[in-house]
């Protein structure tokens, strides 16, 4: 059943302490899909920060990372194996993300092998976030990716938020934790592939 709780945007710091183990598991699963030579996009969000931490610890691959997330950038900035590009633009302090027309213009010209984004809510065939400006950037990244991945922990299913930025059936894969309910697994598998993290 869809949660009726009013959406309230939490800060990056507040989200960091929620479902930490599940986010780490999801990030490890996502990291295993990134290959040597890939150009990838990593969006904002605490699960994607965990992905950045996993990538930083995996020093044997040379990849290019494009991000609009300042926390992701700061984690990867000193890596010797990652070519890093931070999209500029209007800064949203609450999530540490760069958004707006400058970020959009830059991103429109880029193509990536894989885009990894997150969301506050997954319901029916849609993915939603609190900020329309952040949603537009994630939408652009997904549109410009060969493979499209959504990283969300199992608490995000059957929730709602303000801005629907993508359809599930346009994704290649959802990566979630192994606490996803059988009902949610069945319901959302009709739209796309779901990978459960170990």
Q: Which residues contact 144 (CB under 8 A, 6 or more apart)?
A: 41, 107, 108, 110, 111, 112, 115
Mean pLDDT of 79-88: 95
Q: How does pLDDT run across 10-52, given as a tens digit for each residue?
A: 554 444 445 799 999 999 999 999 999 999 999 999 999 999 9
pLDDT higher than 80, residue 180: yes
Q: Which residues contact 72 (CB under 8 A, 6 or more apart)?
A: 42, 44, 48, 49, 51, 52, 65
pLDDT score for 61: 78
150 vs 8, residue with greater confidence: 150
pTM given for the model: 0.91
pLDDT score for 162: 95
pLDDT band at 68 (very low <50, low <70, confident <90, very high): very high
């Amino acid at each position: 059943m869809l949660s009726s709780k009013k959406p309230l945007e939490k800060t990056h710091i507040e989200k960091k302490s929620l479902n930490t183990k599940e986010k780490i598991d999801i990030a490890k699963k996502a990291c295993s899909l990134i290959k040597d030579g890939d150009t990838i996009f990593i969006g904002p969000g605490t699960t994607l920060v965990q992905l950045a931490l996993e990538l930083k610890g995996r020093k044997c691959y040379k990849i290019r990372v494009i991000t609009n997330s300042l926390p992701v950038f700061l984690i990867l900035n000193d890596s010797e194996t990652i070519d890093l590009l931070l999209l500029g633009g209007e800064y949203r302090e609450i999530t540490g993300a760069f958004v707006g027309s400058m970020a959009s213009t830059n991103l429109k010209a880029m193509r990536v092998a894989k885009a990894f984004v997150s969301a506050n809510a997954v319901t029916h065939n849609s993915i939603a976030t609190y900020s329309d400006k952040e949603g537009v950037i994630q939408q652009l990244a997904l549109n410009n990716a060969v493979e499209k991945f959504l990283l969300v922990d199992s608490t995000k299913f059957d929730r709602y938020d303000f801005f629907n930025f993508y359809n599930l059936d346009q994704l290649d894969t959802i990566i979630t934790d192994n606490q996803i309910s059988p009902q949610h697994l069945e319901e959302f598998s009709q739209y796309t592939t779901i990978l459960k993290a170990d």
